[in-house]
Chain A
């Protein structure tokens, strides 16, 4: 039997980030769960669609494109802003982090307001028919995710203003960033399916 090798606690950091941290993995799995939710809803969309004689059914017009396209750009910018702020953290630049997250939050609030404007107008709602139900469920579920991302990032921003984060202590912003990027990326299939595919065929 060999001697026991004792690892002193100075060699065992408690400030963990990235894939070393269990909490980082927790957020990754949450994102997988959320992706499964969206995948199920999008599959349901196509299931209802292939069994429908016309799409959109009941003589409804195709959904408007202008506001969703603006929103796509807004969301892309917010995603870039947060990434830019995160990159600042690598250089211990806390000011850049605060600006990045702040800009990201502001842009997502714009996204949210545009969503509200889109959601209240229009010739149908989610009780009109199954198309309306699946359209608005996916749409509003994504908007709910935007809201959660805004709230999460606000907590991170408050911590940043108190000087909590630095080059090593960054797990909090890392997990917010994962969620943030997920909300931005999942918008792409949502946008394509809800707004573009009815025009394509």
Chain B
């Protein structure tokens, strides 16, 4: 089959093909049409936008917390609203912002980066988003009606059992957290399958962009970390509404069981949200340094090593619970060990910058800010891994400072680097670089002004999660500085929003590849057409847009344009194996999400809703699984078309 290369197609045929592709991959107009979209970029954009809204809401809670703590014996928020504010701040940032937005990054970028037209299970993608949307909004609707959880984002029983937290807020927390993990698991399945089977011809595993690698490891971590969380929050919900005794010490239950299962999820979760961020940093740094990343293999192995090691660290959250010495020593060693792969990545990034011809863009600045901040957070992490030190500062502001360094350096700054890097691709408009530099400066300086003093506050003994402190302890000044810093971050974030809105309204148009970067998403227009690629690209190196191997014969797969098709390739070497026919727009995922929501709301409100929801869910899934077209085959298989 080595016929001559495709002769230049006549313009009219080309135009007809593009028009047909547009029709095939389009969705019906109007609001219902919008609800029925299943294209990965539509879903990805919704994840990103919804995640940003939750980021802002959690940011408002953060500012309220900082205002309350700005001076001693402040009476702005009482103890209960303060508890609600820090619980919702942590819950939102972890469950409604960080994890979903990283999934959104993966869902939006991965198919573009691997040269696919869409993901493997588009309707499942839509289901995941609707589950996330319903869970997040119900949690916030409950919050606005005064039903806020007040047990902190890790909700330790016995405090969170019904005897001590009788309000409905914690019921919402326990059920909605269980519910929302469905979205995370669905996204993980999607991403793994798509990365395994839908890479462009020639993109063997060792040629995958680093962001795709990091998303793959993240997805596998979700597969092993989120089920324990569902079990834990499910047990808590059962304890609260169906009077089971998992966490009731009086009847053989174990409060520490919660801590073990929760942190078995909770620690990997930190790396679940940091790995894609490391992927973003690797892409941004390579394209800013205008050279291939230094140590591709070392970075990939670090991702995998972090993925494994992160499951062996959870007990370092529990050093103060009186565990056996041997256990504590093991977890100290494991916690220190994870700095090795983290360090390898940092050195690879530095080497890339060192040897590159660096172009200083806003996204590059954010990347450098991320590395600095993350390394500082890592250093305090090593300090906390040692048991005697941890016991000294446990539950003080030192810990608050530590994990905000890690999360800003490991999640927020990389994410903003990513926003500036891929905004042109997503919207077709360039963000303003001057405003961007101000945005970076305000957020970076504001961050360190906010959180650096909190290390000192921790040493001075200021406990976290206490709504005020007495005058004369010497904590007032540092707290005031910290509050000022928080507002500087706030101004920085507002500047980003202003920049984004003005770019959307009147920004400079972006070309296909404004940064001269190397990965496939830049091979198509900005924003990409609905079908991503008219011709599936062919890959013969790690940097397909920079170089290709002259010894490899490029392959082009023939796809139909009158239905949604994308190539299927082999797991290891991405040899073409077939075509995947994908479903079009449908409302079934939305209905399914609402049916599952019935089941979970039933756990809070009325147990009879549970079987109703379960039946509805099954009906939806049956409708979903029923084959739409019995005659999909067009390869001339004998006997095909005889049945109907």
Contact = CB atoms under 8 A, between A and B. Distances in A.
B578 A14 contact: yes
A178 interface: no
Contacts of B188: 29
Interface in B179-208: 185, 188-189, 192-194, 196-198
A8 B252 contact: no
A13 B251 contact: no
A22 B579 contact: no
A174 B264 CA distance: 33
Contact of B632 (A11, A14, A151): A14
A19 B538 CA distance: 23
A128 B253 CA distance: 11
Contacts of A32: 223-224
A34 B553 CA distance: 42
Nearest to A168: B637
A20 interface: yes
A36 interface: yes
A159 B571 CA distance: 30
A130 B246 contact: yes
B2 to A, nearest CB: 5
B223 A36 contact: yes
Given A25-B192, A126-B242, A129-B245, A5 B579 contact: no
B556 A6 contact: yes
B322 interface: no
A37 B557 contact: no
B555 A129 contact: no
A23 B622 contact: no
A133 B231 CA distance: 13
Nearest to A25: B193
Contact of A44 (B189, B242, B261, B630): B261
A25 B120 CA distance: 10
B64 to A, nearest CB: 36
Contacts of B434: none
A22 B120 contact: yes
Contacts of A7: 1, 555-558, 576
A10 B4 CA distance: 17
Contact of A23 (B121, B251, B567): B121
A20 B198 CA distance: 11
B610 to A, nearest CB: 11
A36 B579 contact: no
Contacts, number: 207
Nearest to A48: B254
B558 A6 contact: yes
B28 interface: no
B471 to A, nearest CB: 44
B359 interface: no
A14 B581 contact: yes
B295 interface: no
A22 B198 contact: yes
B246 A15 contact: no
B618 A22 contact: no
A60 to B, nearest CB: 11
Interface in A124-142: 126-134, 137
B11 interface: no
A9 B1 contact: no
A164 interface: yes
A16 interface: yes
Interface in A147-182: 151, 155, 159, 163-164, 166, 168, 172
Interface string B240-252: 0011111010011
B252 A48 contact: yes
Interface in B489-546: 538
B632 A15 contact: yes
B245 A14 contact: no
Nearest to B264: A40
A66 interface: no
Contact of B257 (A6, A44, A168): A44
B531 to A, nearest CB: 16
B625 interface: yes
19 contacts: A4-B5, A4-B556, A9-B634, A13-B633, A14-B578, A14-B633, A16-B568, A20-B197, A22-B121, A22-B580, A36-B228, A44-B231, A48-B254, A126-B245, A127-B242, A128-B251, A151-B618, A155-B622, A164-B630
Interface of B: 1-6, 120-121, 124, 185, 188-189, 192-194, 196-198, 223-224, 226-228, 230-231, 235, 238-239, 242-246, 248, 251-254, 257, 260-261, 264, 538, 548, 550-560, 565, 567-568, 571, 576-581, 618, 622, 625-627, 630, 632-637, 639, 643
Interface of A: 1-16, 19-23, 25-26, 29-30, 32-34, 36-37, 40-41, 43-44, 47-48, 51-52, 57-58, 126-134, 137, 151, 155, 159, 163-164, 166, 168, 172
Given A48-B257, A137-B235, 5 more contacts: A5-B556, A7-B557, A16-B578, A133-B253, A164-B643
